[in-house]
């Protein structure tokens, strides 16, 4: 019973994380918009920013990892490796979300000290896509955090019997 419960909980968390990383990747990759400002046309897309490219790469790696682990999670021989890789993926997701959120904040609010103007007024569709991708990324990071905490609980419980 306990093993079945563990498999169900981890599978649901992994499915949630997989869906969130996949949607974050797709939404960010499909985010693009063009605008004209003072007769100058510019386009906003994720590939214009190295930070957003890092975000997409991290989310895509987490998506691939999540898909692979969904099929391997039932094998007992790789449990410890999966726990270690879950921590690594959670760290990668957290760092990419932090960087992308900083760039998105500058895009939305600008930076008066550096003289950077906000761009979300000119390309609101692009900013909405980025916001959606960041929300999905947060959901994935939280899912991996909960998964890591649950995995630690499962592995440490036999070591400290009550």
36 vs 27 pLDDT, higher one: 27
Candidates 151, 140, 134; CA nearest to 82 is 151
Q: In Å, how far are 62, 69, 149 from 77, measured between CA atoms?
A: 21, 13, 20
The angle at the Cα of 32, spanning 28 to 38, to the nearest 5 degrees, equals 145
Structural domain boundaries enclosing 64: 10-156
**pTM of the complete model:** 0.88
User: Within a 13 Å sphere around the CA of 8, how many CA atoms are in the beta-carbon half?
Assistant: 5
Residue 105 inside a domain? The answer is yes
Residue 162 inside a domain? The answer is no
Residue 108 inside a domain? The answer is yes
Q: What is the pLDDT of residue 73?
A: 66
User: Within a 13 Å sphere around the CA of 6, how many CA atoms are in the beta-carbon half?
Assistant: 17
**Under a CB-based contact definition with an 8 Å cutoff, are residues 52 and 119 in contact?**
no
124-162 tens-digit pLDDT: 898 899 999 999 999 999 999 999 999 888 877 777 776
Q: What is the pLDDT of residue 1?
A: 60
Residue 4 inside a domain? The answer is no
52-107 tens-digit pLDDT: 999 999 999 999 999 999 888 666 777 888 889 999 999 999 999 999 999 999 88
| Mean pLDDT value of segment 30-36 | 81
Residue 3 inside a domain? The answer is no
User: What total of structural domains would you count in the chain?
Assistant: 1
């Amino acid at each position: 019973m306990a093993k079945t419960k563990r498999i169900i909980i981890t599978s649901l968390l992994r499915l949630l994380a997989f869906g969130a990383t996949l949607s974050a990747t797709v939404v960010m990759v499909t985010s693009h918009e063009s605008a004209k400002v003072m007769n100058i046309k510019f386009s906003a897309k994720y590939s214009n920013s190295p930070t957003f490219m890092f975000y997409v790469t991290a989310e895509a790696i987490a998506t691939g990892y999540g898909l692979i682990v969904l099929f391997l999670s039932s094998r007992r021989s790789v449990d410890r490796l999966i726990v270690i890789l879950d921590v690594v993926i959670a760290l990668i997701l957290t760092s990419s979300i932090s960087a992308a959120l900083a760039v998105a904040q500058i895009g939305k609010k600008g930076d008066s000290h550096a003289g950077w103007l906000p761009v979300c007024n000119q390309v609101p569709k692009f900013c909405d896509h980025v916001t959606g991708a960041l929300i999905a990324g947060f959901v994935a990071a939280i899912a991996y955090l909960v998964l890591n905490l649950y995995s630690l609980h499962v592995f440490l419980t036999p070591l400290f019997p009550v």
